[in-house]
Chains A and B, each alone.
Chain A
Amino acid sequence: MGAGRSVRCIHIVERRPGTKQGNRGVLPRFAIDVAAWVALRDIRPLRFGASIACGVLLSACAGSPLSDYDLNVPAQTLRVTTAPAVADGRTRFREIFCAIAASRQAADAEAVACENFLLRLSDEAAPLEIQPSLPEADLRLRVILVGGLLSDCVHDLAALYMEASQALRERGYQVELIPVGGLSSSRRNAQQIAAFVSRLDLQPDEKLVLIGHSKGAIDILQFLVDFPDSRETVVAVASIAGAINGSPLADWVGESARPWLGWVPESWCTPGDSGALDDLERSKRMDWWLRNRLPDSVRYFSVVAFTRLEEAAWPLRETHGFLSYVDPRNDGQLIFYDQVIPGGTLLGYANTDHWGVALPLEFAQSWLALRPEYVRPFPRTALLEAVLLYIAEDLRRTSTGQGEEAAP
C-alpha cells in the first residue's frame, strides 16, 4: 500500500489533556542542527562530514509532528483561490447547543461539559451576556441523513444518528436516513439521493434539510450540482465532520486500496462502483471545487470535529497519529481545516472523533468506541437538534432579509 512513499517510524505518546505535545525529541535533533550549522558556517574541513552525519541521523527517525495540538488559533479553511469566504455562526450555535444540553442534564455539571464538547478557538466571539433564547423549531423541515464511507455496511449496527433521530421524531421532526452505497462514488450516491428525494411526498410548505456525515456531505454536494431541480426542495445542507476537502489518508492509500474494497463481502455492504476512496482524495476534492459551483439558493452549514489523539476511539488513534504530521487538529479521519464548506456558515468545533460526532457505537459496538474514562460520550442528539434549530432561525432571518450573524 502506498508503494514508493517514504515510511518512517513514529512514537505515539499517550498524553493527558492540557499537556503540550510535539516537542519530543526536539533537543537532540536541534543539537544536531546546531552542530551542522557551525560546521556549515565556519569550519570548512568539517562541512562534508557534518552533512553526512546529519543526513544519517535525521533520516533514522522522523521525530514528532511539527505543530502542536493548539486551540489558540483562529478558525481556518484550506480552499482553492476561487472559493468564497465562510461566515461565522459559532457564538449563536454555542448558545443553542449549550442551552439544549443544559436542559437535559443538571446545570452545574453541564456548564463545564458544554465547553468541553464544543472547542473554542481564538477568534470565536464572546457570548452575549443576556440569557440566550432558543429558536423556535420548524417542523416543516424534513431531515434527510446521509452516511459516509462504509455506512450501509453498518447501518444496523450503528446507524448514523440512530438515537438522535428517534429523539427528534418524538419531538415532531420527520427524520429519514438514505441508505447510500458505502463503497460507492459520490456521483453514484448522488443518484441514490435523487431517487430517494423524488419519491418523497412533500407537502407544499415542506422543505428538505440534508445532513451529511463524512463522505455523506460530499455526496449531498454532488447531488445538488448534478440535479439542479433539487434546488426547489432543498433549503439547507449541514456537513457534520464532512470530507469537504477529502482526507490526506485517502491520497495515501489511493488506488492501492481498491482491492481491499473488493474484499468486503457482498453480504456486508452493497458493492457499488468502489469509487468511494477516489472521491475522498484531497487532490481530487480540490479539483472538484474548481470545477463546480454550489447553488446559491441553498444555505450551507459546517460542524467540524477534532480531538486529541488520546481521546479518540482506539481504532482511530493510529490514523489520528498519521494525520497529526499534517495537523494534530484532526478527528482521526479528517483535518479540521478540510471540513468547512466554502461560502457556508461555520457552526462550531465538536470535541470528539470522527465516529463520536455521529455514530452511536457506544450502544451496539462499545468495544470499538473505547475511549479514556474521562471522555464523555458526545451528546449527538443535542448536536443534531441544535443544528436544526440554528438552520430554522437562519432560514427565517434570511427570508426576512436580516442577513447573517457574521457576514464573510
Chain B
Amino acid sequence: MSSRRPLIFVLATLGLFGCAPQLLEYDATAPAAVLAPIAVPGIEDARPEFRQIFCTQLTEAELASGESCSGYLHRLRDEAPPESAVPIVPMRAASVRILLIPGALSECVGTSGLPFRSGAERLRELGYRVETVKLSGRSGTEHNAAQIADELRRNPREADAPLVLIGYSKGVNDALIFLRRYPDLARQVDALVSVAGSVNGSPLADRYSGIYSMFAGLSVGNCPSGDGQMVASLERPRNLRWLAENPLPTHVQYFSLGAYSDRRHFARALRLFFASDLTRMEPRNDGQTLFYDQIIPGSVLLGYVNGDHWDVAIPLREKMPFFAGNTAGSADFPRSELLQSIVFFVEQYLSTHRSVDTAPDHMPVEAPPGRGRAK
C-alpha cells in the first residue's frame, strides 16, 4: 500500500485552499427551485400560461414579439413548452379590486417608491379599482400588517369584486403577517400575489439588521423611522421560522412572480452594495433577494422576470437615473405591462378556479397567533 494514499482524503476536499470563490455559476435557465420548510406544500406551475399573457401584452405595446419576450421573462429549463399552455384570452373584465402593497422604504423616495404607479393608472383607465396602501417604509411587518388591516377596515371588500393583494418585496411579508394576524379581515382577501417578494427574507438583512438597529431611530426628512424593525423583520431565520409555524390561510389563492438578473443588468447601487455577496451565495438574485427565497409555499408560480429588485416594480430611475440605471444600458422594465399581465392572469384564474361573486366563507382551521394591532 502506498504511504501516500491517505492523501486521497485531501483530494476529496477538491484540493481547495486559499481564497473563497463564487461556487455557483449564473445559469439563467436552471430549474425553478424553492427553499422552504420541509413540510410546506408544493408549487403549482403556471409559467407557460403567464408567459402567454405577458408576451401578448408586450407585443401589443410593441416592446417585444415572439421569442424576444424571453428577454423580460426568463424561460427556465423546466418550464413546459408554450404549446402546452392552456390558451388564455384575458377577460379584462375589471371584475377584481387591486390593493398594491409597497416594499421597504417606499415612502422615502416619494412617488418613485410606489410599485407599479403608471401600471395602476392604466388599469384604472380600463375600469379596475386599484389602490396603493400607505405603509410605513421603515417599520416591521407586524406594524405594517396593522396598517393593511386599517386600510381594509376603512375600505372593505365589495361583495362582487374579489380582492387581490399584490405585494412587492417586503410588502409580501407584510401581507402574509396580515393574513394570519387578522383572520376576520383576511376573509375579504381572495388572492395574494408576490412580486420579487422577500418571502423567506433576505440574507442582507441577516448581516445588516444589527447595524441598522443603531440608526433605526433616526428620522430623515420624508423618511420617518417607524418602529425601526424594517431590516430585522426581513431576517431569513425569522421568516423561515414564521413560515414553518404559521400555515397560510387556505381560502386565499397565492401567486408568486420571482425576479433575477445578471449583474450587468443590476442597478448600479444594488451592484455596488449588495450584488457580490448575494451572488456568491446564489448567482440568481435580484440584488436584494435570492430567487429561491421569493416563492410563497403552496403558490402558483407565474415565472421569473429578468430584472433587478427595483426595476421590476418601482420607477426609481426617475429619481436616481445613474444609480438606479445599469451598465448594460437597458431600458426600463415594462412594469405597466407586467402589472396588467398579473391582474389579467389572476382575474382569469380566480374566475375559473372558484366562485368569485361571494366572499370566501371558510377560514383556516389553525388558531391564529394573535389579534389586534401589533405593538
Contact = CB atoms under 8 A, between A and B. Distances in A.
A326 B273 contact: no
A8 B240 contact: no
Interface string A285-325: 01101100000000000000000000000011011011101
A177 B53 CA distance: 55
Interface stretch (B32-40, B96-104, B155-163, B191-199): B32-40
Nearest to A251: B24
B11 interface: yes
Given A154-B6, A315-B13, A365-B9, A76 B37 contact: yes
Given A68-B206, A326-B281, A257 B14 contact: yes
A154 B9 contact: yes
A178 interface: no
A6 B277 contact: no
Contacts of B364: none
A156 B10 CA distance: 17
Contacts of B207: 22-23, 26, 66-67
Contact of A74 (B10, B204, B244): B244
A70 interface: yes
Nearest to A313: B9
B5 A153 contact: yes
Interface in B263-305: 268-269, 272-273, 276-278, 280-282, 292, 301
Contact of B272 (A55, A70, A260, A337): A55
Nearest to B243: A74
B32 A81 contact: yes
B328 interface: no
Given A82-B42, A123-B241, A287-B31, A75 B37 contact: yes
Interface in A238-288: 248-249, 251-253, 257, 260, 264-265, 267-269, 282-283, 286-287
B286 to A, nearest CB: 15
B309 to A, nearest CB: 16
A76 B38 contact: yes
Interface residues of B, number: 70
B20 A76 contact: no
A252 B19 contact: no
A42 to B, nearest CB: 9
B357 interface: no
A66 B269 contact: no
A47 B40 CA distance: 45
B5 A154 contact: yes
Interface stretch (A57-65, A203-211, A226-234): A57-65
Interface string A76-103: 1111111111111000000000000000
A144 interface: no
A66 B278 contact: yes
Given A5-B25, A81-B34, A323-B23, A70 B237 contact: yes
B71 interface: no
A132 interface: no
A333 B272 CA distance: 30
A43 interface: no
Interface string B311-342: 00000000010110000000000000000000
A66 B206 contact: yes
Contacts of B269: 36, 40
Contacts, number: 243
B184 interface: no
B129 to A, nearest CB: 32
Nearest to B38: A86
B86 to A, nearest CB: 18
Interface string A115-142: 0000000110000000000000000000
A195 interface: no
Given A157-B5, A264-B11, A323-B23, A84 B42 contact: yes
A150 B19 contact: no
Contact of B19 (A10, A54, A367): A10
A159 interface: no
A66 B272 contact: no
B21 A406 contact: no
Contact of B301 (A54, A81, A154, A157): A81
Given A85-B41, A150-B12, A268-B2, A252 B23 contact: yes
B1 A156 contact: yes
Nearest to B212: A30
Interface in A328-366: 332-333, 337, 340, 346, 355, 361, 365
> Which of B12, B36, B282 is most buried by chain A, counting CB atoms within 10 A of its CB?
B12
Given A66-B207, A249-B16, A80 B272 contact: no
B111 interface: no
Nearest to A302: B38
A68 B206 CA distance: 8
A62 to B, nearest CB: 6
Given A6-B21, A322-B23, A325-B281, A122 B6 contact: no
6 contacts: A40-B320, A51-B268, A67-B203, A81-B43, A251-B24, A337-B35
Interface of A: 2, 5-10, 22-23, 26-27, 30, 33-34, 36, 40, 47-48, 51, 54-55, 58-59, 62-63, 65-68, 70, 72-88, 122-123, 149-150, 153-154, 156-157, 248-249, 251-253, 257, 260, 264-265, 267-269, 282-283, 286-287, 289-290, 315-316, 318-319, 321-323, 325-327, 332-333, 337, 340, 346, 355, 361, 365, 367-368, 406, 408
Given A23-B207, A75-B38, 12 more contacts: A6-B21, A30-B208, A40-B323, A54-B272, A75-B37, A88-B39, A123-B245, A265-B2, A286-B30, A287-B30, A290-B31, A318-B17
Query: Which 7 residue pairs are nearest across A and B when measured between Cβ atoms?
Result: A74-B244, A248-B23, A66-B203, A81-B43, A10-B20, A86-B38, A252-B23
Interface of B: 1-2, 5-6, 8-25, 27, 30-43, 45, 77-78, 203-204, 206-208, 210-211, 215, 236-237, 240-241, 243-245, 268-269, 272-273, 276-278, 280-282, 292, 301, 320, 322-323
